[in-house]
């Protein structure tokens, strides 16, 4: 059977860059493009078929109408979302809910557990992976309010070919100078906890979701991730 080729969806971000064009030759919408949704049937970015008799159809349509192409697997939605992430600057400190929380409080959405494969990284690139030690919710909340949360976060050096598993509930952030392939559940739920008081082109800080983040975050200290 002929391979099915997809037209990716691009997302411009305050922290994005131009490597999706420079390294992969994609026709990106601007030099602040942070994400390529390469395989996605999510409503916020549904890839379109580029070839075969299904050209012009979306991946979600193909999933609904030709399940035989997916091995007749069961499920009410395409389960995965695969991205390439270009972090020219640090991403926000964030956390994702699990499936149970998302289903109950986010209109039946999936939660978000993800895996990162580091395609490339600058010499001193880092990422944030959980807390150094067990936290109390009140201490975490205060540190988010007064901007001192970074002192509690575990920072990990990264290099090309490293792999990280980020389960729902683990606080995390991709650091500047990192190019990552991300395999995740088909979800667009991110609860930003802290964003360094950055402002967008209109001079506004991005919205935070601290209350929801405090409900889902894993407060236990994290081991060093296996790489």
Q: Which residues contact 177 (CB under 8 A, 6 or more apart)?
A: 87, 88, 121, 122, 124, 125
Burial of 107 per CB tally in 10 Å (0-12, 13-18, 19+): exposed
8-state DSSP, 3: P
* Known catalytic residue at 226: no
**Rounded Cα–Cα distance for residues 24 and 1 (Å):** 26
Q: Which of 151, 192, 198, 204 is catalytic?
A: 192
DSSP one-letter string for 84-123: EEEESSPPPEEE---HHHHHHHTTT-----EEEEEEEE-T
Residues with a known catalytic role: 192
């Amino acid at each position: 059977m002929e391979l099915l080729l997809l037209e990716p969806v691009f997302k411009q971000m305050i922290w994005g860059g131009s490597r999706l064009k420079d390294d992969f030759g994609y026709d990106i919408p601007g030099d602040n493009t942070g994400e390529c949704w390469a395989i996605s049937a999510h409503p916020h970015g549904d890839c379109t078929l580029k070839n075969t008799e299904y050209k012009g159809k979306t991946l979600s349509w193909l999933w609904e109408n030709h399940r035989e192409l997916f091995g007749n697997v069961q499920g009410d939605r395409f389960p995965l979302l695969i991205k390439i992430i270009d972090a020219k600057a640090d991403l926000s400190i964030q956390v994702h809910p699990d499936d149970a929380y998302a289903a109950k409080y986010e209109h039946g959405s999936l939660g978000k557990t993800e895996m990162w494969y580091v395609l490339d990284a600058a010499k001193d690139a880092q990422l944030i992976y959980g807390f150094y030690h067990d936290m109390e919710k009140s201490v975490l909340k205060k540190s988010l309010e007064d901007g001192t949360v970074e002192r509690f976060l575990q920072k990990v050096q990264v290099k090309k070919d490293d792999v990280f598993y980020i389960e729902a509930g683990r606080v995390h952030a991709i650091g500047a100078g990192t190019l990552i392939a991300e395999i995740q559940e088909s979800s667009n739920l991110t609860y930003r906890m802290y964003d360094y008081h950055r402002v967008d082109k209109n001079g506004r800080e991005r919205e935070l979701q601290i209350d929801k983040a405090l409900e889902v975050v894993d407060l236990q200290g994290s081991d060093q991730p296996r790489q």
